[in-house]
């Protein structure tokens, strides 16, 4: 007996979504600081719901860690204190 499931997003679609979420989060941090980061707003800003954001990033820290790991030097300058 086999189970039927919907199509899975391919790797590039997943990466595109993750990157869009990371960029939206860092844009929000640049505007409001880490304390102003709202994951619900990050998700909505890229046309996703909060459950989808949590599918990719279970915590706010995981989202930030992913962004920091992908471009550490560029991210540091973007979120430098004003």
Q: Where are the domains of the chain?
A: 11-78
Tokens coding 38: 């709202």
pLDDT tens readout for residues 13-59? 999 999 999 999 999 999 999 999 999 999 999 999 999 999 999 99
Architecture of domain 11-78: Orthogonal Bundle (1.10)
User: Stretch 52-78: mean pLDDT, rounded?
Assistant: 81
Tokens coding 32: 């409001």
- Which band of pLDDT confidence, cut at 50, 70 and 90, is reported for residue 68? confident
pTM of the model: 0.71
Rg from Cα positions in the chain: 14
Tokens coding 69: 């790991």
Residue at token pair 């719901």:
49
């Amino acid at each position: 007996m086999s189970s039927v499931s919907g199509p899975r997003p391919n790797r590039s679609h997943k990466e595109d979504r993750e990157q869009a979420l990371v960029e939206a989060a860092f844009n929000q941090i640049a505007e409001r600081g880490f304390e102003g980061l709202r994951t619900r707003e990050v998700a909505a800003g890229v046309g996703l719901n909060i459950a989808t954001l949590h599918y990719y990033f279970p915590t706010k820290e995981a989202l930030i860690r992913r962004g920091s790991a992908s471009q550490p030097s560029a991210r540091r300058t973007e979120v430098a204190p004003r």
